[in-house]
Amino acid sequence: MDSEATMKKTFWSVCCSIKLFVRSDWYLPSSLLNDITNDFSDDLVIGRGGFAVVYKGMLRNGTIAVKKLNNSLEMHEDNFKQEVTCLVGVNHKNIVRFLGYCSDTQGKMLDYKGKLVMADERQRMLCFEYLPKGCLHNYITDASCVLEWRARYQIIKGVCEGLHYLHQNDIVHLDLKPANILLDDNMVPKIAEFGLSRCFDENQTHATILKAYGTIGYMALEAPNRKIRRELDIYSLGVVIAEILTRQKGYPAVENVLETWKTRMGTSAGILLEQVRVCTDIAIDCMSCDPRKRPHVQHIIDMLSGMESMNVCCTGRVCSKMHSEIMARELHHTEHEVPPDSRFKKTVVLYTTTLGGIMKTFENCNKV
């Protein structure tokens, strides 16, 4: 049995059990990936983006995802190796698992001014675990995919924990959005799409990129400055949480969030409504136009954990102290900055928070 056949057998046996394996070389030959994708058949396409096409890789007893980068993507080999290095070091329950990569250059005959010439064609591919539930985007926008609050809260918490892990390991995602958050069979969220993520050196606080990355609607106002900072991801996280809360896509309005969930849950769901309120406050803070005012992910997780600890004594019911605090909460006004409109004007929103809902009024602000 030759070395490639041996590698294929090992790859199959490992990937069929979908376990992250540790080895010194994560390289996979292009012939192997061609084989499991049926020469990258259109019938096996499961996703398309501006930089890559994702295929199902059909194994004997399972499936993986093979992401084939477009040849038009300008990325130096050293940069690609840096991306792979980031992926190899990632291991968290809320991050899609990386299985291997391919970077091959093959000769290809092309017609050039009526003559056949030999040209080098580079193929770059990344392999990940396959998650058949698809992305969070489908569950936000599809009316038939109804997620109750407990499931939504666990998704919010899981995304926060996954993002915290990335930031702890000096990785900034740069394109966090529901379409890049996949769900496993138990609806556990897993952050995906690290082809455009960037790694920091240990002593770096920020880095510069040659072009702006991200998706309109999830990008912070300062994103076009091309400075890579963790605050960019925090802004995107706020938009994601707001969409999960409102079940609406793109700059979702957050007024009457509590009232809407109160109607769905009933008046006895005080603890769950408190979770809605806290998550709403977190989303608003994350979407501040001033990156210095956005909370760190660790602070967000601490807020969620603290709220859960306070709820433990309630054993599923609202304890009298919490109930009194919720019902007696007076109107309070907190100024927050929110996503600008399509003309990228700065907008200040005055939020009035009550148990019944969140009302907002807009005021234009000429100062940037």
Which positions are annotated as active-site residues?
175
Residue with tokens 């290095």: 85
Tell me the one-letter amino acid at 243: E
SS3 at position 352: strand
SS3 at position 224: helix
Rounded CA-CA distance 32/51 in Å is: 22
Contact 166, 176 (CB under 8 A): no
DSSP 217: T
CA neighbor of 65 nearest in space, from 220, 192, 171: 192
DSSP 171: E
Tell me the one-letter amino acid at 147: L
Phi-psi category of residue 249: left, alpha or beta, with phi > 0 → left and psi -120 to 50 → alpha = beta
CA neighbor of 168 nearest in space, from 60, 51, 301, 362: 301
Residue 181 has phi, psi (to 5 degrees) of -120, 110
Output the six-digit token pair for 218: 């999830």
CA neighbor of 57 nearest in space, from 39, 80, 83, 84: 39
Q: DSSP of 13-43, one letter per residue? A: HHHHTT-----S--B--HHHHHHHTTTT-GG
Output the six-digit token pair for 133: 């539930």
Element at 337 (helix H, strand E): strand 332-338
Q: DSSP of 306-335, one letter per residue? A: HHHHHHHTTTTS--HHHHHHHHHPPPEEEE
Binding annotation for ATP: 68
**What does the buried/exposed string (b/e) look like for 122-133 if buried means 16 or more CB atoms within 10 Å of the residue's CB?**
ebbbbbbbbbeb
Rounded CA-CA distance 19/120 in Å is: 35
CA neighbor of 22 nearest in space, from 100, 96, 130, 82: 100
